[in-house]
Amino acid sequence: MHHFAYRGGELYAEDVPVSTLVAAYGTPLYVYSAATLRRHFTAFDSAFGGLPHLTCFSVKANSNLSVLKTLAAMGAGVDIVSGGELYRALAAGVAPEKIVYSGVGKRAAEIEQALTAGILMFNVESLGELERISAIAKRLGKTAQVSLRINPDVDPKTHPYISTGLKKNKFGLDIENSLAAYAKAMELPNITPVGIDCHIGSQLTSISPFLEALDKILTFREKLCAMGIVPRYLDLGGGLGIQYDEEDPPHPKEFGEALTKALGDLPMTLILEPGRVIVGNAGILVTEVVYTKKTPSKDFVIVDAAMNDLIRPSLYDSFHAIREVRPAGRETLNVDVVGPICESGDFLARDRDLPAVAPGELLAVYSAGAYGFTMSSNYNSRPRAAEVLVDGETVTVARRRETYEDLIALER
């Protein structure tokens, strides 16, 4: 559920008309709902109330400080994959002991930054990384808590670009050779192995891949215990999907019940890294129709948002619902909704049945809260969109619109 709804023939974000936001802040415009963020976080976090757990929001899904502050105020931790995300998390007030650091390419300076901050643990993805963390921790006189990311070779049945748990993926250590890696962790100075990490992919619409992976991880845990390593943390990552179109993903409650049953009374703290399921449907991208264009073979709606603003349709061929901000009950046309970028791949929707809109009218692109602004760019020297957070009747400019001056500010 989200808090974008029509009242009196106009789309509202909570208690604010979307057209009012556009009049104040222009387009393209990302609009986030604080009530939706809180609702989704509560629904997810409470689903695991029967287990010792920590819900760490995946910052890569949406790294805006206002979003992070909203979640941190509810007790959320975060999952980060870069030094920049760590910097953002700390700036947003996230407690360091609630931060886990994932990712395959952690640089030396980033590792030092995380050790100095005192994060909970690193999710280690290679032997080289493990050795580097040890050397840096020794130099700093600190002890690094680590989990090793185990690749269970489970097919999450999602888009291949966001599948991360198969043998052919770049992530983690293969499960057959991971015991040797844990033995190495026990030998290295300034390293304490405290957990097991596993993340199989994103936008999963079934619980069965999670349970298949968990079964393999629990078998692996028994082998670790036999070696004298008793994991205190079990990080199962994120990946629970949302509804963009006709998907029917499981509710977090169903996910929580399944994991609670599978884990029983094992003495471990469960760490979860939801991103999309928290913030995906908490945001929309509002865009203005610039032109309509009819050719012998196709009708186009040309809008001022483009693939640089929301790349998911171009990159993943993903579906995002598109609706009028002020519906007028007109005939429906089959159209491509495209942006101004000089690429044929610049589209928000193809072969979509939409009302016949006119230049100057506003469209809302739904499910844009996750991997929307965070994946945006300045391609074609386009300033990035503004972001606003609506909380009831209160509007916060979460990020001002970039200017042409911003585009060249770092150049000489």
pLDDT tens digits for 56-96? 999 999 999 999 999 999 999 999 999 999 999 999 999 99
Q: Which CATH architecture has domain 34-279?
A: Alpha-Beta Barrel (3.20)
Query: Per residue in 183-221, pLDDT tens?
Result: 999 999 999 999 999 988 778 888 888 888 888 899 989
Q: What is the pLDDT of residue 157?
A: 53
Torsion of CA 126, 118, 199, 32, to 10 degrees: -140
DSSP 68-85: HHHHHTTT-EEEESSHHH
Q: Considering only the top CATH level, what class is 4-32+280-408? A: mainly beta
The predicted pLDDT at position 155 comes to: 56
Q: Is 149 annotated as a binding residue?
A: no
Band the pLDDT of 159: cuts 50, 70, 90. very low
* 274 annotated binding-site participant: yes
Cα–Cα distance measured from residue 164 to residue 156, given in angstroms and rounded to the nearest whole number: 8
List phi, psi (to 5°) of 175: -65, -25
352-399 per-position pLDDT tens digit:
999 999 999 999 999 999 999 999 999 999 999 999 999 999 999 999
State pTM to two decimals.
0.93
pLDDT tens per residue across span 168-185: 454 568 877 888 899 999
Please check if 239 is assigned to a binding site.
yes
Give the separation between CA 129 and CA 145, rounded to whole angstroms.
13
Q: How far apart, in whole angstroms, are the C-alpha atoms of residue 236 and residue 210? A: 8
For the annotated catalytic residues, the residue numbers are 342
For all residues of the chain together, what is the average pLDDT?
Answer: 93
All structural domains of the chain with their residue ranges: 4-32+280-408, 34-279
Amino acid at 303: V
The pLDDT of residue 208 is: 86
Q: Is a pLDDT exceeding 50 seen at residue 166?
A: no
Is 343 annotated to bind a ligand? Reply is yes
